[in-house]
Amino acid sequence: MKKTIFTGAGVAIVTPMNADGSINYNALGTNIDYQIENGTDAVIICGTTGEASTMTDEEHIECIRYAVERVNKRIPVIAGTGSNDTGYAAELSKKAQELGADALLVVTPYYNKTSQRGLAAHFTAIADSVDIPVILYNVPSRTGMSIAIDTYDALSGHKNIIATKEACGDISFIAKLFETCGDKLDVYSGNDDQIVPIMSLGGKGVISVSSNIIPKETHDIAQLCLDGKYTEAAALQLKYLDLMNKLFIDVSPIPVKEAMNIMGMNAGECRLPLIKTEQSKIEALKSAMINAGLIK
């Protein structure tokens, strides 16, 4: 059996920006400490929520370096190193390993996409390039393609491919994934509204957007599942369900950054092409935050 990278709730942490669009490392450090102090079990840096797609290479590498140093081995740091260019992803993955990342998060190729055979070759090449664990990332709504069950089964035999972040939204598909891969592949929920269903099937936790603003509560949902207390976990999941859904009222991470700013957490704005959401959506988000007890 492969060694699990983490159990519980990992935060897909946002990248705070200054007014001029540069990265606000002071705010990032404050947010990392806040996450750890509130029970978050892993930090995922430079993912979709972290706006890695609009970072320069230098920024991407510096964010990973900064997160590794700030966390200082308190919890695992997982670096997003995915790309639709296999060679580039492999080089970035090697650099993340050199910087001290504990694991990698690697998304399926986008735009040029590929076949299932191509997917297997892509992920294998990246996993072959490093000696640290790799978490696959299946998010069809973002990339336009999905990892098939047979492809998962083949990839789960690789010694470095430890887990997947599943954000397909299809519980039946995920149940089939558990049935097929068993203990050869850990599964993390990639959707905050599906933590309890996925963990009830055997999932190890969640890689969460909501953790940016409710780290303790998201950790507690996952921990209750790990403790076998699914009724309590479900009650907590449902308590925050509207808030979790409102964090996707616009393209992520626009809403979660808006929520953080409302809470005084200094996230700044997103980089283009993402722009500030409409006032009506901000009001809906605020209403959910009030109901969740985050603001008055």
For the segment 22-65, what is each residue's pLDDT rounded down to a tens digit? 999 999 999 999 999 999 999 999 999 999 999 999 999 999 99
- Could you tell me what percent of the chain has a pLDDT over 70? 100
pTM over 0.85: yes
Q: What confidence tens digit (pLDDT) does each residue in 229-254 have?
A: 999 999 999 999 999 999 999 999 99
Give me the pLDDT at residue 164, please: 98
Q: Is residue 23 part of a domain?
A: yes
Q: What is the pLDDT of residues 179-201, one digit of tens each?
A: 999 999 999 999 999 999 999 99
In a domain, 60, yes or no: yes
Q: Is 248 a member of any domain?
A: no
pLDDT of residue 2: 86
Residue 296 burial (C-beta neighbours within 10 Å; 0-12, 13-18, 19+): exposed
How large is the average pLDDT for residues 104-127? Answer: 97
| Residue 121 resides in a domain | yes
Domain of residue 225, residue span: 8-229
Report the number of distinct structural domains present in the chain.
1
Asked, for residue 236, whether it belongs to a domain, the answer is no
Q: What is the CATH number of the domain that holds 200?
A: 3.20.20.70
The verdict on residue 262 lying in a domain is: no
> Does residue 286 sit within a domain?
no
Looking at the domain assignment, is residue 150 inside a domain?
yes
Give catalytic residues, as residue numbers: 137, 165
